Amino acid sequence: MPRAILHADMNSFYASVEAMQNPALKGKAVAVCGSTEDRHGIVLAKSELAKKYGVKTGMVNWEARQRCPELIVVPPHYDLYLKYSKLFREICYRHTDLVEPFGMDECWLDITDSMYPYSSPLEVADVLRTATREELGLTISVGVSFNKVWAKLGSDLKKPDAVTCITPENYKETVWPLAASEMIYVGRSTEAKLSKYGIHTIGELAKAQPDFLRSILGVNGLALWRYANGTDASRVMHKEFESPVLSLGHGMTCTADLETEEAVYHVILQLCQDLGHRLRVHAMRAQGVRLSVRGNDLQTSQYQAKFSMATRSPKEIADKARTLFDARYCWSTPVRAVTVSAIYLCPELTPQQLDIFSDAEKSEKQDKLDSAVDELRQRFGKGIIRPASTLGDIKIPDDGRDLVRMPGLMFQ
């Protein structure tokens, strides 16, 4: 018996929540955008009507207005999006505990063993759609299939408020003619590589030699070959599953271009305050740091280095990141966005080998100080105590976008 997997995708989520909160926006061309004044003048989400005019996510505001002169631009309200994301998940939990999120507005459900009292996966999909529309005032599209890849693809094929079923009998005629980029994890770079070798559709990807795909895409090539042939067997994880923490990162697009090393360091230092807190929450230390820098030409550079001793000190992580930046960034363009990641994580109680340059006593005192600072920030807010150098305008937005998590991995 084939598995019964659903993928539910909330339609135009940000824009739909805004329209639900303000009925005057319903049926209009709406775009949720960061403010032009804060230099976050890009489209974060758009309504179905705005999409028909050619408005795309990531498009700058002025270009979106050129495509759609009647476009209504509204600012994001992340607290609302988090609220409705949680409410939507509660609806999903009524049908199964096997609910795996994929970002705020999407999730997989495995209802193979929990369809009762419903007669088919399609009926469950319709019940989900109805409950979401009637209880939350939002619509979803649902893909129904025998694996996660085709369920995800199905939810993308018909929008809004629709159900698409992809079965072992119809997937070749339904899916194989589609562009390879329609399938999960075939991004622009992968699409370009496949196109170079004459692979343009999912069907052509399925018929390619797996050894050849591995030679050009590595192990990801084999995974994509399995996906294209409908043999994905990855599980839908339990709702309480927490993925292993392999790295922790924190990044922001700045409210203005950064043009000096000092300005970049202030942003790095502020990001590392939260990064240090997250390391404590997960009871981990970092054995290395990775710094990602995006210029205002939208090109991203990455640098990384290891510590002599694992750490969770915000200042140690920030100072190492600054050393990387000062030594490696060529300043061909001002800096637009910065991300600092703690990598090569290890449990906080892992024994460490000291060397003649390490001062264990000093490190222990610093860790106690950092813990005290972290506790104060938790109790009284992040602004209660902070490095003096970050007291001015350090070009970091404070609209709550750091609370939002982007889609992660599809667990195997």
Domains of the chain: 1-167 (3.30.70.270), 176-240 (1.10.150.20), 248-403 (3.30.1490.100)
Q: What are the C-alpha distances in Å from 237 to residues 114, 292, 311? A: 15, 30, 31
C-alpha 65/C-alpha 72 separation (Å) is 9
Structure tokens at 358: 């390490």
Q: What global pTM score does this model have?
A: 0.74
Structure tokens at 286: 């970092």
User: pLDDT class for 166, splitting at 50, 70, 90?
Assistant: very high
Bigger pLDDT: 86 vs 63:
86
In 3-state terms, what secondary structure has residue 392? coil
Task: Give Cβ neighbours of residue 323 (< 8 Å, ≥ 6 apart).
Answer: 305
> By percentage, how much of the chain surpasses pLDDT 90?
62
- 242-251, 291-300, 346-355, 368-377 — which one is most confidently predicted on average? 291-300
The answer to whether the beta carbons of residues 54 and 67 sit under 8 Å apart is: yes
Task: Give Cβ neighbours of residue 332 (< 8 Å, ≥ 6 apart).
Answer: 295, 297
User: pLDDT class for 33, splitting at 50, 70, 90?
Assistant: confident
Q: Does the structure show a pLDDT above 50 at 39?
A: no
Q: Tell me, what's the pLDDT at 402? A: 54
- 191-200, 236-245, 288-297 — which one is most confidently predicted on average? 191-200
- The string of pLDDT tens digits covering residues 214-247 is 999 998 999 999 999 999 999 999 998 876 677 8
Q: What are the C-alpha distances in Å from 149 to residues 143, 215, 314, 347? A: 10, 23, 39, 34
- The string of pLDDT tens digits covering residues 97-147 is 999 999 889 999 999 999 989 999 999 999 999 999 999 999 999 999 999
Annotated catalytic residue 191? no
Q: Does the structure show a pLDDT above 60 at 401?
A: no
The answer to whether the beta carbons of residues 147 and 234 sit under 8 Å apart is: yes
Work out the mean pLDDT of the chain and round it to a whole number: 88
Q: Does the structure show a pLDDT above 70 at 38?
A: no
Q: Tell me, what's the pLDDT at 300? A: 84
- What is the pLDDT averaged over residues 375-401? 71
Instruction: Single out the catalytic residue among 100, 106, 123, 240.
Output: 106
Structure tokens at 31: 């775009």
User: pLDDT class for 377, splitting at 50, 70, 90?
Assistant: confident
- The string of pLDDT tens digits covering residues 313-368 is 999 999 999 999 999 999 988 998 899 999 999 988 887 766 666 666 777 777 78
Residue 252 is inside which H or E element, if any? Answer: strand 248-258
Task: Give Cβ neighbours of residue 82 (< 8 Å, ≥ 6 apart).
Answer: 104, 403, 404
Task: Give Cβ neighbours of residue 257 (< 8 Å, ≥ 6 apart).
Answer: 39, 296, 334, 335, 336
Q: Tell me, what's the pLDDT at 385? A: 74
Q: Tell me, what's the pLDDT at 296? A: 80
The total number of residues written for the chain in this structure: 412
Closest C-alpha among 45, 3, 324, 26 to residue 146 = 3
The answer to whether the beta carbons of residues 333 and 297 sit under 8 Å apart is: yes
Q: What are the C-alpha distances in Å from 84 to residues 98, 124, 138, 403? A: 20, 20, 9, 14
Q: Please, what is the Cα angle at 155 between 150 and 156, to 5 degrees?
A: 95
Q: Does the structure show a pLDDT above 90 at 205?
A: yes
